[in-house]
Structure 1
Amino acid sequence: MSFGFSVGDFITVIELANKIRKEFVDAPSQFRAISDDQIITETKRGVDQLNQNQDDQERNIILDWVTTIDHASQQSDFINRRQAGTGQWLIDSEEYQAWVQTSKRTLFCPGIPGAGKTILTAITIDDLTMRFQSGADIGIAYLYCNFRRQDEQKADNLLASLLKQLSQERTSLPDSVKALYKKHKDKRTRPSFDEISRTFQSVVAMFSKVFIVIDALDECQTTDGCRTRLLTEIFLAQAKSRVNVFATSRFMPEVMEKFEGSITLEIRASEEDVRRYLDGYMFRLPGFVSRSTDLQEEIKTGIVLVVKGMFLLAQLHLDSLIGKRSAKAIRTAIAKLPTGANVYDCAYDDAIDRIEGQLQDQEELAKQVLSWITCAKRPLTTLELQHALAIEVGDYELDEENLPQLEDMVSVCAGLVTIDEKSGIVRLVHYTTQEYFERTQRRWFSKAEKRLLSK
């Protein structure tokens, strides 16, 4: 029986004891008792450290077995995109304060596409983390639903992610999680949804209060009742324990009916937040803009007037001004900013026009990048996309000299592509961008699509 220690572990402790004894072998007799006490103390410390290392290793193995899906990297990416001061209206609102200060409450925040729901979710998670960072008995877990991650975002995977996040907040791993791992590890099987559910409920009950935050429920797949099963489990936990739920979604009846009776607060980009955002990114415009405060004010006022609560639209409109060569050109563009029901399509059409106005090689690269991202069955890393773009018809191996530069891949796409720094995922700037290209890809990507299919 090894008790979890290797031969090497015991040798390490023995060597430590011998080293201490050797240092005291010639000590006066009055110090030998001290020597013996120190040997015992140091040996115990060494054994304790070995125990801790063993526990940490086992803990990480079990947590990774529960799920390897990581929402923390997305949280880091999203909160880093926040413009300082934006979103504070949500934290200061009566609805949010009532939700955070009571128990067993749900705050549902629906919003139109591009209103800034995801960034506000990140702000909420950040606020909860800071607010309760010293409260070891407060659990916080969150999910970012994503239409591009359908394969990994099944009900059991999503619930397992919540289970993992809450488990790793405990000082020691919950016994129920260890038992679940022990039951399946030798058989190399995965736990059923019911097993994950029971374990999740038991871990939730260990906290005095738990906050569960879910972004973009409208993007959570409905296959096999995924969204319904997930919400049922969360609301069951809320009924049994002190659980608070925060969720965002587009205005979808099938989602909204799940939150009847909840505190509801619509998410819209406030005029103040839009102005803060534009202030923070005004440096991206030509130099003559930074030298004219009057022109900057005209830009902010013009964009604020047309975005009508859509943060994404402010970003797209600002991007549309980057290539303008004069104040007159900027004023003309502002006067022509689209409004109405098809405002996103108009903004994306304008972005494509800018892409097609580039040099031929730049246009081709942009359309290949957009094609790959739009048509991929899962999110692509920057390296995967670079390799896909580098391989040409007839190639049998990768030519590293043909790898496009990341900054070029992004800059040629007129603001429609972004890279999540923490995860290394390259993606379209918004769900509405994906929807636009799925509707219109034959119109824009005919040549690029042929090349993609030939690879």
Structure 2
Amino acid sequence: MSFGFSVGDFLTVFEQANKLRKRFVNAPAQFDALSEQVRNLSIVVHDEDLALTNVVLDTQLKNDIRKIATSCGNVLAEVERALERYSDIDTGHGVKKAWKRLRWDQDEVRDLQDRVCYNINLLKGINGRVTRDNVVELLEHQKDEQHQACLDWLSSTGYAEVQSEYASQRQPGTGEWLLESSIFQDWKSKPWATLFCPGIPGAGKSILASVIIEELNTRYENDQTVGIAYFFCSFQTHDDQSQKLESILACLLRQLAQGLPQVPESLKALFQKHKGRGSRPSLDEYFLTFRATLNQCSRAFIVIDALDECHSSTVTRLLDFILELQASNSLNFLATSRLIPEITARFKSKPTCEIRAAMSDVMEYLWGNLSILPSFVSRDPKLQEDIVHKTTDAADGMFLLARLMLESLQHKSSPRKMKQELDALTSVASHYDIAYDTAYDKAMERIQGQVRDQRKLAEEVLSWITCAKRPLTALELRNALAVELGESEFYDDNMPDLEDIISACAGLVTTVSRSSGDVIRLVHATAKEYFERKWTIWFPDAHSRIATTCVTYLSFDVFEEGICSTQTNFEARLHRYPLYSYASLNWGHHARNQPIDEILMLEFLSNTLKVDACVQGLFYIGGYFTHSGYNRNEPPGFTGLHLAAYFGLLSVVTCLLKDFDPANTDLTSTKDSMGRVPLAWAAYNGHTKVVDFFMEHGSNANSKDKTGRTPISLAASMGHLDTLNCFLEHKIDPNTRDTDNRTPLSWAAYRGHLKIVKALLPKGADPEARDEYGRTPLLWASYEGWVEVVELLRERDVDIETRDRLGRTALSWASENGHVVVVKLLLEKGARLDSMDAEGRTPLAWAIRNQQEAIRLLLIAAERSRDGPPRSRYHDTKLESTSKHVVPIFPNNPKSVATGKEQTPTSKPPENNQSNSDNGRCFQCPLCNRASLTSNRHVLQRHVRDLHFPRFRLVCSESDCGRTFQRKDKFMIHMKDQHQRDIHGEEMDAFQKEEPLPEGCIICQRLVTSWEEFYTCIETHVQAPSLAQDAP
């Protein structure tokens, strides 16, 4: 029989086999084996039918299955014919099979049996192939997921969204002049090329940058060896984390890595190193990973748009980074910017192509948009010519200005008025800043000429966008516009449509699509600059109106419920009331800029439950609670005075304390759930006038919160110099200590506040004060890499060899954490290279352990430049030399560190004729160049397991923190410092998490399948000098 292949055909074979099995009933014994094989075939066919359900098969596999299905059908048909020959119907007993007494052809039966077995094996082989392919596919899927996790960890910036946004704004056919220019063609074709594209505001630099990116993507879309990365700087996110140097580098690196066939191993190593710790790479690590990634690219292009819209210090460091990277890699770099002298100077010797909208492009845009003008224009060709040519001349290469001028003509009621407006606009276009001011003035005049509701809507929108503390989503803004003063609840049907908002604003605002939702913003950086200068003219009470809206929103009856007791309920509140987060975080900042109605304010602050709800939103930013001492499930204990002090609202504090009796300190000494008085929050946020007011009214400046922090300690740690000086003028002790014995100077050094350190030292702050962990301000500054603080403390003759309770020095901490400049400074001051901590590790050992390559080279160079290498008390071998006279530290049949069971080594140990006895020997770990030796191999075994290859890490589960630690001491410090929890002994077991098993031994690369096998292999490799004669 013939089978046209489909999975259902196996069901046909299955039914055919089952039918034959019934015919074997009462068959002679000669048929038993054949009957059993037919039964087996039916089972395998059924299993195969199930296995292939919903499986996508390739062409070859389909053909193979078709052949097997046909073969199965054929052999079963022959079995059926054979049965027909050997059986017959017994008419005497009804319809019943009777077996003929014929001579059995044993060869025929055996042949049929073999053919059935053969088909069974074929089916099993197919099943194996499908299973193997599925496993491979699953492994590839898991690998892809791991790669995506690595890229997502590196950066989540929506760079593609921004590119698409600018590309959509391009007028068809524009920008071709740049792509066809010889200077751009040279840049694109020659490796290591740099091209600087400056331009005046509104010239279309960002649009042209998107055109360039699109050109590169199109040109190299089929070449995965070419890396393309870009970044659009933006005035809207000038102070946002996404525009910090590290964020920009991460975004660029992600794009370069994402385009490659495989994620670079260096990037995966960086991911594995930092993901578990909750840390981010240093600039040195970014540089090395960039270089490794670029080495996998045949060509690479980086495009940075609008350098002028990025912070000046970030621009300087970004250009330093890229230009240094370019010196050793085939990297093409293009940047756009306004003509800023500091930026232009960096490209002085580089090819330059000024960005100006080509007249043909501007004219094409104008001709394509004349339809927005009144209908009488379409009937007057001469007027059309005048509008296009005069506007093009006046725009002088500025696309944005041409657009604004065209829109200003939109509502003229006659040809004469339109010509007058056109003449007025073109007369001031000789200088672009005046031209833009005029264009924006005209836009505001159009808004003022609208009907009352439209005018009011536009003014509110523009005031919110201009004065808001961060960019608003469209939904947040619509919520704000829907709030009605005096109402006690929110009405969804009072929200204006987004289209009406944009229409009312006369082309001055636009929306940008983001993964988090549409963001509404001003149309251009020049518009932002205009309103930052003139907001007091157009909407002088903006901050007061915004603050009033926020307080009204927070006073809705729904917030009478107080805090949300669960995370689910809290997130539901955030979703239901989109303005809740912004209002909680910023109402006080707006109220500090401009006062609001006193009655509204006091009614809100006197309602404890509404204040609680506000504080819950206040302490929740970006998905986590910002103050570790705050329990989201309990009322924060804030009073209205706490909240007023937090935001620095002096007039409100004065009002609340108007009838205050200094003899009764209950009001100013009331503590919240974190143990802080109102004065502490004023100090924390640097509101000096409020602090001074509290001090004058007898508030206790030595009041301590739950962690022992005083107001002066909070001011010092947050870097508020004026507030600190206020405390010092009131003779507050600068050496007050918290529960960890840390002083204000310790906190200031830890946070890198140089001015605070300078202010504290002359007032008697102890530069050698030790905290609970034995750390001095110098050790904290070195730990965090604050070069100027380290230098200042060293000038005060602070001992640079001072050690903490772990035996760590300043050089040790700086080496571990990758602070190259601090290491250089400490070496210049004579810091010892051979200082060993309690574990016997030197600074070099820490640098090697944490893969700080630049510091490793620096320390080795410093060691060689000094008078001889550092020596341990046991031998005179250099730290990095551990290869002479080596013996294995483990016996021939070593015990696994993990299990204690004897196992066979997974690789052959180095041959050595010396005895393996421990007697008279010293053992040294070459993995960390440990200078102190041990005479006990088991101590060294624990050292290798616990410090180099831990099976478990400690994971912090407090407040969605998620940081992980390898060392118990660091975990204890973190829990005490960040979460005010003392964790000891067996309590740590609850925080343990098993590490992913390495793919193989890091020394010999041998694959391993268990931790026990991994430890055994590592132990086999670890060797030590045989120094019996030198042992003490």
Do both proteins adopt the same fold according to a TM-score greater than 0.5, normalized to the shorter chain?
yes
Ranges in structure 1 where 5+ consecutive residues have no aligned partner = 1-14
Secondary structure of the residue aligned to 2:195 is: strand
**Using the alignment, how far apart are the partners of 2:136 and 2:453 within structure 1?**
62
**Using the alignment, how far apart are the partners of 2:228 and 2:523 within structure 1?**
27
Give the partner amino acid of 2:485.
V
Q: Aligned residue for 2:264?
A: 174
The 5 A counterparts of 1:60-79 are 60-79=148-167
**Using the alignment, how far apart are the partners of 1:433 and 1:167 within structure 2?**
36
Q: 2:356 aligns with which of 255, 268, 279?
A: 268
Report the alpha carbon displacement of residue 290 of structure 1 after superposing the two structures with TM: 3.2
Q: Aligned residue for 2:297?
A: 207
Deviations 1:29-72 (A, max 9, x none): 25434322321221122112211221222222221111111211
Q: Aligned residue for 1:445?
A: 539
Deviations 1:128-147 (A, max 9, x none): 11111112111100010112
Change (3 A) 1:63 1:396: farther
Change (3 A) 1:180 1:431: same
Change (3 A) 1:21 1:367: closer
Deviations 1:381-436 (A, max 9, x none): 21122122222334555321111110111011111111124662211111010000
Q: Aligned residue for 2:173?
A: 85
Give the partner amino acid of 1:365.
L
Q: Aligned residue for 1:7?
A: none
Contact 2:48 2:123 in 1 (8 A): no
What value does the CA root-mean-square deviation take over the aligned residues? 2.1
TM-score by length of 1: 0.91
Q: Aligned residue for 1:384?
A: 476
Deviations 1:291-338 (A, max 9, x none): 443332221012012111111100100111111223332222212213
Q: Aligned residue for 1:427?
A: 521
Report the alpha carbon displacement of residue 447 of structure 1 after superposing the two structures with TM: 4.2
Give the partner amino acid of 1:244.
N
Q: Aligned residue for 1:410?
A: 502
**Using the alignment, how far apart are the partners of 2:145 and 2:414 within structure 1?**
61
Contact 1:17 1:43 in 2 (8 A): no
Secondary structure of the residue aligned to 1:446 is: coil
Q: Aligned residue for 2:365?
A: 277
Is the deviation greater in 410-419 or in 276-285?
276-285
Contact 1:16 1:43 in 2 (8 A): no
Contact 2:158 2:514 in 1 (8 A): no
The 5 A counterparts of 1:9-408 are 19-20=50-51, 28=75, 29=116, 31-149=119-237, 150-151=239-240, 152-222=242-312, 225-337=313-425, 338-341=428-431, 342-395=434-487, 397-408=489-500
Secondary structure of the residue aligned to 2:506 is: coil
Change (3 A) 1:248 1:40: same
Report the alpha carbon displacement of residue 350 of structure 1 after superposing the two structures with TM: 0.6
Report the alpha carbon displacement of residue 18 of structure 1 after superposing the two structures with TM: 7.6
**Using the alignment, how far apart are the partners of 2:226 and 2:529 within structure 1?**
39
Is the deviation greater in 354-363 or in 169-178?
169-178
Give aligned pairs, total.
Answer: 439
Change (3 A) 1:329 1:160: same
Q: Aligned residue for 1:11?
A: none
Report the alpha carbon displacement of residue 280 of structure 1 after superposing the two structures with TM: 2.2
If asked which structure has higher relative contact order (CA below 8 Å, sep 6+), I would say 1
**Using the alignment, how far apart are the partners of 1:361 and 1:302 within structure 2?**
34
Give the partner amino acid of 1:362.
Q
Contact 1:177 1:199 in 2 (8 A): yes
Deviations 1:220-243 (A, max 9, x none): 112xx3111111111122111110
**Using the alignment, how far apart are the partners of 2:125 and 2:369 within structure 1?**
64
Change (3 A) 1:108 1:146: same
Change (3 A) 1:17 1:59: farther
Change (3 A) 1:32 1:296: farther
Percent of residue pairs bearing the same amino acid type: 44
Secondary structure of the residue aligned to 2:197 is: strand
**Using the alignment, how far apart are the partners of 1:384 and 1:218 within structure 2?**
29
Report the alpha carbon displacement of residue 449 of structure 1 after superposing the two structures with TM: 3.9
Deviations 1:16-38 (A, max 9, x none): 86824899897642543432232
Is the deviation greater in 356-365 or in 376-385?
376-385
Secondary structure of the residue aligned to 1:246 is: strand
Contact 1:372 1:452 in 2 (8 A): yes
**Using the alignment, how far apart are the partners of 2:168 and 2:316 within structure 1?**
31
Contact 2:478 2:496 in 1 (8 A): yes
Report the alpha carbon displacement of residue 289 of structure 1 after superposing the two structures with TM: 2.6
Contact 2:287 2:325 in 1 (8 A): no
Higher percent of residues as helix: 1
Change (3 A) 1:197 1:348: same
Ranges in structure 2 where 5+ consecutive residues have no aligned partner = 1-45, 54-64, 76-115, 551-1032
Change (3 A) 1:57 1:395: farther
Change (3 A) 1:394 1:277: same
